[in-house]
Structure 1
Amino acid sequence: MRIGIIGSGSIGGNLGKHWAQAGHKVMFSSRHPEELGSLVKEAGENAKAVSVTDAFEAKADVYLLAMPFKAIDKISELYAGEYANSVILDATNPYPQRDGEMAQQVRDANYNASEYTAMKFSTAKTAKAFNTIKAEHLRDRAFRSQDKLAIPFAAQDEASKAIVQKLIEDIGFDTVYIGNLTDTKIMDPNEKIYGMSVSKSELLEAVRSK
């Protein structure tokens, strides 16, 4: 798959490296792509650095959102014509202390953060994953054949579900399907499974517990 990484920090950077290692074509994007040379070198021949504009104009199969939550409005509006046939994989979290009032409004609303992303990227299919795991565990515990960590995820339809499940499994993690985006409240900051780095059986138990 062709994957655009929007936000090449600890989450986006590590996921991009893993996916490139797994054989996917990865575009790391930044406002300053010239600063991503070492990241591209680590990722190998399947990766390159581009501007955010170039990433969206390439019309990738999947776009990983790994930038601060407050950038969702601007990015969704600025590149509205570019992602209609893509999967938006949302790894963002609304942190009011970093993202300001809009993040607090989303956390106080009668919808969850992934539904907000889906509303903004309305012409794409949105899925949610990789927002609950600690960056160091994402970096260090990929590509395991045993003692795998489980990644919870949700998706808008069967096609995006299959794509995201493959992307998780391709880099050596187990998957736990939470359901539609309406079911992802438990993945949001300070909720039930946020921050958990556990096995599939342990994560399933946590999801099912009252």
Structure 2
Amino acid sequence: MPERRIAILGAGPVGSTLGHKWARAGHTVAFGVKDPSSERAQSLRAHLGEHVLIGSPADALAMSDIAVLAVPGEVVEELVTTHAHLLDHKIVIEAANKLPHIQKTLSTKKWADHEPLTSLSTLQAHAPHAQVYRAFNSYGWEPFADPLYQGVQADLFYCGPEGEARTVVEQLITEVGLCPVRLGDVDQVEVVDDVLRLWVTLALLQGKGRDQVALKVLTR
């Protein structure tokens, strides 16, 4: 598969896990973070080596063809509006979830109706020429780090447009070790987010464990 140039905005557990796997697969990975000199950013550099760029979001986006939004969901809108010109015309994967909604669910043990987990509409409005996908949001970081469950490869559910960009996104999913399952175009984003709600219910609300649960479609 060809080498890709990937900007990962955010250096938390999800972003760093994905970046580690994609760098190991031979891609050029750049992390865009608020403070490149922070302890977390420097720890990431020590782990991944000097060949991985760690800079500002603008630095990372300027050298990429693919952008992965792996920041807390509540900062996505500001990030998108600030860097819309650098996101436009790219493949953009929104992996962020609005954490306050999930935290409220964990405290009340009940999902509230109609609370969006994504800022996809903001992204579409400000970067209308981007090819936008919703992926890598339906689990915690643990299934990305270890996607095999009793020897069975977990599925990764996503949505986004058909075409060449879909092939790229599925390549990236496969390189993480997951099996890509497309649920439709971006109008199916709520279906993808419902997969997250199911995973949170099983892994966290029912206490089965973040590293013990993933999902698989069985067919015949």
Aligned to 1:11: 14
Equivalent pairs, count: 194
Aligned to 2:78: 74
Deviation at 1:99, TM superposition (A): 10
Contact 1:20 1:44 in 2 (8 A): no
Which residue among 22, 25, 28 is the counterpart of 1:22? 25
C-alpha change, 1:159 and 1:132, in structure 2 (3 Å) is same
Give the Cα–Cα distance (whole angstroms) in 2 for the partners of residues 11 and 168 of structure 1: 13
Aligned to 1:33: 36
Any idea what SS the aligned residue of 1:188 has?
helix
Q: TM-score, normalised by structure 1?
A: 0.79
Listed as ranges, the gaps of 5+ residues in structure 2 are 105-112, 201-212
Aligned to 1:173: 178
Deviation at 1:164, TM superposition (A): 0.5
C-alpha change, 1:21 and 1:147, in structure 2 (3 Å) is same
Aligned to 2:108: none
Give the Cα–Cα distance (whole angstroms) in 2 for the partners of residues 157 and 83 of structure 1: 19
Any idea what SS the aligned residue of 2:7 has?
strand
Aligned to 1:164: 169
Any idea what SS the aligned residue of 1:33 has?
coil
Contact 1:93 1:131 in 2 (8 A): yes
Identity of aligned residues (%): 23
Which has the larger displacement, 90-99 or 31-40? 90-99
RMSD: 3.0
Query: Superposition pairs for residues 1-210 of structure 1, below 5 Å?
Result: 1-35=4-38, 36-44=41-49, 46-58=51-63, 60-97=64-101, 107-108=114-115, 113-141=119-147, 146-188=151-193, 193-195=198-200, 197-201=214-218
C-alpha change, 1:197 and 1:117, in structure 2 (3 Å) is farther
Listed as ranges, the gaps of 5+ residues in structure 1 are 101-105, 206-210
Q: TM-score, normalised by structure 2?
A: 0.76
Contact 1:62 1:88 in 2 (8 A): yes
